[in-house]
Amino acid sequence: MVQPEAVLEARPRIAKSMHTTPMLRASSLGEPLGIDLHLKAELFQKTGSFKVRGALHKVSRLDAVERRRGLVTISAGNHAAALAYAATSAGVACTVVMPANANPTKAEATRAYGAEVLLHGDVQQAFERCHQLERERNLRYIHAFDDPEIIAGAGTLGLECIEQLPDADAIVVPVGGGGLIAGVAIAVKHLRAQTRIYGVEPQGAAAMWKSLQEGRPATLDKIHTVADGLAPPMAGKLNFEIVRRYVDDMVQVSDAEILAAMRDLMTRAKLFAEPAGAAALAALQTGRIPTTPGARVIAVVSGGNIDLEQLRTLL
């Protein structure tokens, strides 16, 4: 289990290489819901998403031998760019395998940050190719979310949330594999136990919700969602244990609800969020998160990396 001290120790390690992202009050979105809504604008983070927090922390903890070996990972996009940025900043070689249908903007950004990018097959085939490269080149595999140091780095977002809104009643977090919500829950429950933590998944990629129903980490047979940043085929084992212990509830939203929230973020809050980044607002707008009148609620806008052609199609 990741301890709160790990999150507290991660912060000074990575602070100089990332932003403290703003907390924006969103009255025009919160008042219709009867809440005092604040948006944690993590789309303004380095590389455009929260993922860089965990990647920077992981790379900072590698020993000299691991750094010389070089790194390899698989990612649909945001973790890929984050690890590429963190590795290049530390002078470490990085290879990223992405599914062949990966977001072109995310793939190009990952190359621009200095990684070797290989597009290969579907998600399962990309996983297999990643581990093949790990063996053949003796690379150090970096998991996108099921890793204690990745989780601790992601948890620094939770520290910022409580510093920026100390009396927050609830924090709503988008969930893919569970790295972000695991870190946030550990940090927030340590600093302010009464703050409730809610996770949000797309209906077509609800691996964590399924895991909680089955009582063990689950793998999905198929995935269908516009939110590629929330679409790993499984929930992390460590993430699942943390969510089960610290998270108050998990809910699901449809793609249509995510896109409606994304449109509202763009037109009313002027935030250019990707679908994954709009999931928390979608859960609030659909009433799936229990709130009381006037509650101070934080919705995490986790990323803003979206391809313009994809945006044209979605909206």
pLDDT digits (tens, 9 = 90+) for 73-107: 999 889 999 999 999 999 999 999 999 988 888 89
Q: What are phi and psi of 61, to 5 degrees?
A: -100, 0
Which letter, b or e, does each residue of 48-85 get, where b requires 16 or more Cβ atoms within 10 Å of its Cβ?
A: bbbbbbbbbbbbbebeeeebebbbbbbbbbbbbbbbbb
What is the bridge-based pairing of β-strands 36-41 and 94-98? unpaired
Cα radius of gyration rounded to whole Å, the chain = 18
Tokens describing residue 93: 């070689």
Provide the 3-class DSSP secondary structure of residue 139: coil
Average pLDDT over every residue of 118-143: 93
pLDDT computed for residue 76 by the predictor: 80
Average pLDDT over every residue of 274-302: 97
The confidence band for 309, taking pLDDT boundaries of 50, 70 and 90, is confident
Residue 66 to residues 59, 61, 139, Cα–Cα distance (Å): 9, 10, 8
Q: What is the DSSP letter of 234?
A: B
pLDDT computed for residue 298 by the predictor: 98
* 159 pLDDT higher than 90: yes
* 315 pLDDT higher than 90: no
Could you give the percent of the chain with pLDDT greater than 70? 100
Average pLDDT over every residue of 30-36: 98
* 308 pLDDT higher than 90: no
pLDDT computed for residue 12 by the predictor: 97
pLDDT computed for residue 156 by the predictor: 98
Nearest to 250 by CA among 213, 292, 301: 213
User: How many Å apart are CA 121 and CA 179, to the nearest integer?
Assistant: 25
* 124 pLDDT higher than 90: no
User: How many Å apart are CA 2 and CA 218, to the nearest integer?
Assistant: 21
pLDDT computed for residue 105 by the predictor: 84
Residues 300 and 209 sit within 8 Å (Cβ to Cβ): no
* 310 pLDDT higher than 90: no
Could you give the percent of the chain with pLDDT greater than 90? 90
pLDDT computed for residue 122 by the predictor: 85
Q: For domain 4-49+148-314, which architecture applies?
A: 3-Layer(aba) Sandwich (3.40)
What is the bridge-based pairing of β-strands 23-25 and 36-41? antiparallel
User: What mean pLDDT value characterizes the chain?
Assistant: 96
Domains 4-49+148-314 and 52-141 share a fold: yes
The CATH number corresponding to 52-141 among 3.40.50.1100, 1.25.40.10, 3.90.1150.10, 2.60.34.10 equals 3.40.50.1100
User: How many Å apart are CA 204 and CA 31, to the nearest integer?
Assistant: 29
Adjacent-strand bridge partners of 173: 199
What are the structural domain ranges in the chain?
Answer: 4-49+148-314, 52-141
The C-alpha angle with vertex 52 and arms to 45 and 284, in degrees rounded to 5, equals 60
Convert the pLDDT of each residue in 173-208 to its tens digit.
999 999 999 999 999 999 999 999 999 999 999 999
Helices (H), 192-254: 207-214, 237-246
* Statement: the pTM of the whole predicted model exceeds 0.85: yes
The number of beta carbons lying within 10 Å of the beta carbon of residue 190 is 18
Instruction: Give the end-to-end CA distance of the chain in Å, rounded to a whole number.
Output: 41
